[in-house]
Amino acid sequence: MIRRRGFPNADAPLPELISRCVHCGLCLPTCPTFAELGVEMDSPRGRIRLMKNVWDGRLDADSAAFADHMAKCLDCRACETACPSGVSFGKLMEAARSQVLAARRPNLAEALLRRAAFRGLITSPARLALFARFGYLSKRLGARTILRAIGMKRLAELLDLVPEKAPTSAALPARFAAIGTKRGTVALFTGCVMRAAFADTNAATARVLARNGIEVLVPATQTCCGALHAHAGERGGARELAKRNISGLEPLAVDAFIVNAAGCGANLKEYGWLLKDDQEWAERGERFSARVKDASEYLAAVGLAERPGPVRATAAYDDPCHLIHGQKISAQPRALLAAIPELRLVPLAEADWCCGSAGTYNVTQPELAARLGHRKAQHIVRSGAEMVVTANPGCQMQIEAALRREGARVPVVHLMDLLDRAYASR
Ligand code: SF4
Ligand code: SF4
């Protein structure tokens, strides 16, 4: 029986993780919420202190202060990269949020909303695709003007996040044959948001891999990875989805499970941790996670079999937090971009700084998310880039919206879409 004084259940942040923090403060300059708010309790060190206070029984897990400082965290994990003591902040934060949820017991309206979002929408590709299409059409038909006129400003702001480009949700073929000499076989993880709104990017990822001699399977036996559930403290739902993916994908004889959404990749790589207390699943989770690779990580490791064609443009690369901090992948996407002839990559200030998307952060903390989006957009404009490249759908939507608000016409493209375009230009 694990000790959990002050916390409502066994998913509590582990004391052995908390005690790794030596309060040195080296993470503070890398924390976007500390930079924006200047409040110690909105820094990594402050948040860890609050978790310790709950453990020690000096603070209640259901207190408004605890809930607020945990909710304001982006879970961007920049503090993990900066921390010399190896504090696994992401694990602590996800555990802390699950405790807030368990301790606070949401009111009926919030409980119903959570149920609809986490059980009814995110896990259903068909409903999510319908939702994406509805959002796109509402925006095109001027719903934002009407919403603002009737005082529903918040809803109008949410529609701002909807991409200008129509969502694509067409089903992919079950297999993309390798082109040329076959060098491997992988399974493509198609994700929930990617499948519902960015199916073109999934197809582009498969084409780029196939072009490089990799056979790509698109298994129907997969579901949402559960990242949004885990970030929002819905540990039960996250575990359920993890088990479904492990059961559905582990029998496949493939070299890797390929992911093109950084948030999904980081979560899939932590199934072992998520299921660590479940005797039957812990080891299977570890084995599954070891086979997960980001598309750029895999391609850079196997090497490009064929050089892409030229793309005449100046581009800036923005690191998705869950790629650079969650998976420690930053050199590989840049190496792939460097392989595109005539593409000029310019430096982007704070490229490793969260854009404010952070799972559902731009929905739950719109004001702070907008401030971070503004900060990102300003850096992009100053970089002189004609396009921004990234590798996560949430970042794409948030940066696009932030740039639109600045009046900057800089397209945001996924790395795999750009590579696909480069191959098509050969
Ligand atoms: S989380 Fe790491 S870097 Fe930050 S205060 Fe604690 S030990 Fe120092
Ligand atoms: S995860 Fe990001 S926002 Fe949260 S404490 Fe760490 S650096 Fe700050």
Contact yes or no for 377/408 (Cβ under 8 A):
yes
Q: Right CATH number for 15-104 from 3.60.15.10, 3.40.50.2000, 1.10.1060.10, 1.10.3720.10?
A: 1.10.1060.10
Q: What was the pLDDT predicted at 1?
A: 38
* pLDDT at position 229 over 50: yes
For residue 80, the tally of other CB atoms under 10 A from its CB is 22
Does the beta carbon of 27 sit less than 6 angstroms from any atom of ligand 1?
yes
Ligand 1 midpoint to CA 17 (Å):
11
- State the average pLDDT for the chain: 93
Does the beta carbon of 47 sit less than 6 angstroms from any atom of ligand 1?
no
* pLDDT at position 117 over 90: no
Identify which of 259, 178, 260, 201 has the alpha carbon closest to the alpha carbon of residue 418: 201
Contact yes or no for 382/359 (Cβ under 8 A):
no
Asked if the 175-300 domain carries CATH number 1.20.1050, the reply is: yes
> Where in the chain are all domains bearing CATH 3.40.50.1860?
308-424
Orientation of helix 44-55 relative to helix 64-72, angle to 10°:
150
Residue 257 CA to residue 367 CA, distance in Å, equals 36
The pLDDT tens digits of the residues spanning 24-81 come to 999 999 999 999 999 999 999 999 999 999 999 999 999 999 999 999 999 999 999 9
The model's pTM: 0.93
The pLDDT tens digits of the residues spanning 367-386 come to 999 999 999 999 999 999 99
Does the beta carbon of 365 sit less than 6 angstroms from any atom of ligand 2?
no
The residue whose CA has the least distance to atom 2 of ligand 2 is: 76
For residues 224-263, b (16+ Cβ closer than 10 Å) or e, as one string? bbbbbbbbbbbbebbbebbbbbbeebeeeebbbbbbbbbb
Ligand with minimal distance to 37 CA:
2
Sign of the CA dihedral with 225 first, then 230, 234, and 240 last: positive
Does the beta carbon of 44 sit less than 6 angstroms from any atom of ligand 2?
yes
The pLDDT tens digits of the residues spanning 230-256 come to 988 899 999 999 999 999 999 999 999
> Where in the chain are all domains bearing CATH 1.20.1050?
175-300
Taking the CA of residue 80 as reference, the ligand 2 atom at the shortest distance is: 6
pLDDT band at 4 (very low <50, low <70, confident <90, very high): low
Amino acid at 411: P
> Where in the chain are all domains bearing CATH 1.10.1060.10?
15-104
pLDDT band at 425 (very low <50, low <70, confident <90, very high): very high
Residue 203 CA to residue 171 CA, distance in Å, equals 9
Sign of the CA dihedral with 367 first, then 33, 266, and 417 last: positive
pLDDT band at 86 (very low <50, low <70, confident <90, very high): very high
The most distant pair of C-alpha atoms in the chain lies apart, rounded to whole Å, by 64
CATH of span 308-424? 3.40.50.1860
Does the beta carbon of 192 sit less than 6 angstroms from any atom of ligand 1?
no
The residue whose CA has the least distance to atom 7 of ligand 1 is: 21
pLDDT band at 108 (very low <50, low <70, confident <90, very high): confident
Residue 186 CA to residue 205 CA, distance in Å, equals 12
Residue 417 CA to residue 398 CA, distance in Å, equals 18
For residue 381, the tally of other CB atoms under 10 A from its CB is 14
